[in-house]
Amino acid sequence: MSLILAVDDHEQNIKYLETILKREKHDFIFAYDGEAGMKMAYEYLPDLILLDIMLPGMNGLEVCQHLSSDEKTADIPIILVTARVSAEDTSIGLKAGAHDYVKKPFDRIEIIARIHAALKFREIRKQMIESERLNMFAATVVTANHKIKQPLTVIKLAVSALKRELNKEELSKEAISKRIDYIDTAVNDVAFILDQLKEIQEPKMSDYIKDVKMVDIDNSPKLTEPEE
């Protein structure tokens, strides 16, 4: 069940949309002007917006442009409702951020089909984003494991050497200092790798092994590139 917001200044259009959408088991909210519609979009974050272009005050194109440019509402598909659907009108609406158009007077079968297509598109897009997020997480784990394994091995060997020398009572200040230097260098290497991962802005992938990706730390743009 999806929440659909309709913004139209004609009560008969609102009632018609409410009837057909509730029949399709969608929740329905509405507004009669652009300002009220935009306020409801932010308050309820609907799954889809049916937006009339010709509205009193702020028109539909202005509302569409505002909502599609705001990160909070940009992923909500907007279907513009208009009596005219010329190539120029379509171009203007798409540039404003609309997902689709539907022409007045409403055809029930067409509007239901366009709504379902837009909702399906949004769901697929959300799944793709989530899949990319999980793939990026997996690649980051692989990268951390690969890059950090070597300094951790150095730390482990240094600690083992310290324990062995302690047991043999052969530990000199020079030996202690040498082992601590190894550990300190390795810890700094780990910290540097983690800082690099944290600073990556646009991760680039490289092959680790077959079907497994890792983040290419050296060639991925960072948030704060070092000054030359």
pLDDT digits (tens, 9 = 90+) for 199-215: 766 666 666 665 666 66
Residues 23, 29, 35, 39, CA torsion sign: negative
Q: Can you tell me the distance from the alpha carbon of 62 to that of 81, in angstroms, rounded to the nearest whole number?
A: 14
Residues of the chain with pLDDT under 50: 222-228
Q: Can you tell me the distance from the alpha carbon of 99 to that of 42, in angstroms, rounded to the nearest whole number?
A: 18
| CATH number given to 3-106 | 3.40.50.2300
Considering the chain, what is the average pLDDT of its residues?
A: 83
pLDDT digits (tens, 9 = 90+) for 16-35: 999 999 999 999 999 999 99
The residues, any chain, with a CB within 8 Å of residue 51's CB and separated by 6 or more, are 7, 37, 60, 63, 64, 78, 79, 80, 81, 98
Identify the bridge partners of residue 209 per DSSP, sorted by sequence position. 212
Enter the pTM of the model: 0.62
Residues 148, 151, 157, 158, CA torsion sign: negative
Identify the bridge partners of residue 30 per DSSP, sorted by sequence position. 6
